[in-house]
A and B are shown apart, each in its own frame.
Chain A
Amino acid sequence: MAEPQSPLHDVAVAGGAAAAEFVSPGGAVRMCELPFLGHFHLRGAPDDAKFLSQVKAALGCALPLTPNTTAAGEAGGVLWLGPDEWWILTAAGGRAEVLQSLEKAVAGMFASLIDQSPGHTVIRIIGEGDGEPARNLLRSGCTLDLHPEHFPPGRCAQTVFAKTNVTLLPAEDEKNRWRCDLVVRRSFADHLWRWLEEGAAGVDGGG
């Protein structure tokens, strides 16, 4: 079987790295791709206690029922997408196992589970310093209020970003830097990457 290829394969090859990477000229914005993560799309009734408990057992965390919030379990992150719709993002390594345990959890139930992993990728934006240049970059692509007070870690938001549908996932990394993961459809990844690369040059230095 052929090796899977990330939608940003060409960017990675041009940069001589395993995955696409980018640092803005002034160093304020870093960007990299997180390829081959597991993206599992789950639908089911939020008022079905059996569905909720079995999925919770499989994931190691309860499905978030509050709009636009996330949960973190042993299997990975769980994102609220709609009142009966969730995304489970898992590390590239454990994809098959997580999918299998989810399949078992919802078997025979009024639920739907779809493996969307090959259809999506994640672009991670890391803001150096106070993160403001990185947020300014994202602000020029969408209309959300990205201030950490309004959009703190633990939230997620689906929006239209640079003319394509993107899910934003803010977080703080181990070096206390603000970062945001952008989940994007495979066919738009190249467009979004180049849009961000070009935009990042303009927001260095906080302006």
Chain B
Amino acid sequence: MLLIPCPWCGPRDQSEFSYGGQAHIVRPAEPAALGDGEWADYLFMRDNPMGAHREQWCHSGGCRRWFNVKRDTVTYRILAVYKIGESGGEGEGGGGAP
């Protein structure tokens, strides 16, 4: 069980949160200009790193805000937590820099 530090509510039990997948995936500016491969890449392909991974979480059982978490997929240690729209420090990690 993870103890996730919500940027607003502080550390709360994982059971209060919903997972939202990899963070910082930007919707293409011109979807119509993309080929099938690029579109499929945007829709379905996600990083699966061993180590730091940037992901989205929602405090659905609490303040209902979405935020970003940088988590180590090996140790499960949470390395950083930052609000949507913030960069969360250096650009390393699974999701890449925003």
Name A residues whose Cβ lies closer than 8 Å to a Cβ of B: 67-68, 81-83, 85, 143-144, 157-160, 165
> Can you sample 30 A-B contacts with CB below 8 Å?
A67-B8, A67-B9, A67-B10, A67-B63, A68-B8, A68-B9, A68-B10, A81-B63, A81-B64, A82-B8, A82-B63, A82-B65, A83-B8, A83-B63, A83-B65, A85-B64, A143-B12, A143-B13, A143-B15, A144-B12, A157-B9, A158-B9, A158-B61, A158-B62, A158-B63, A159-B62, A160-B15, A160-B16, A160-B61, A165-B61
Point out the residues of chain B lying under 8 angstroms from A159, CB to CB. 12, 16, 61-62
Point out the residues of chain A lying under 8 angstroms from B62, CB to CB. 157-159
Number of chain B interface residues as a range: 10 to 19
Q: Digit string of B54-78 for contact with A (CB within 8 Å is 1, else 0)?
A: 0000000111110000000000000
Point out the residues of chain B lying under 8 angstroms from A157, CB to CB. 9, 62
Q: How far is the CA of A160 from the CA of B61 in the complex (A)?
A: 6
Q: How far is the CB of B72 from chain A (nearest CB, A)?
A: 23
Q: How far is the CB of B7 from chain A (nearest CB, A)?
A: 9
Q: How far is the CB of B2 from chain A (nearest CB, A)?
A: 12
A81's closest neighbor in chain B, by CB?
B63
Q: How far is the CA of A158 from the CA of B64 in the complex (A)?
A: 9
B13's closest neighbor in chain A, by CB?
A143
A82's closest neighbor in chain B, by CB?
B63
Q: How far is the CA of A159 from the CA of B17 in the complex (A)?
A: 10
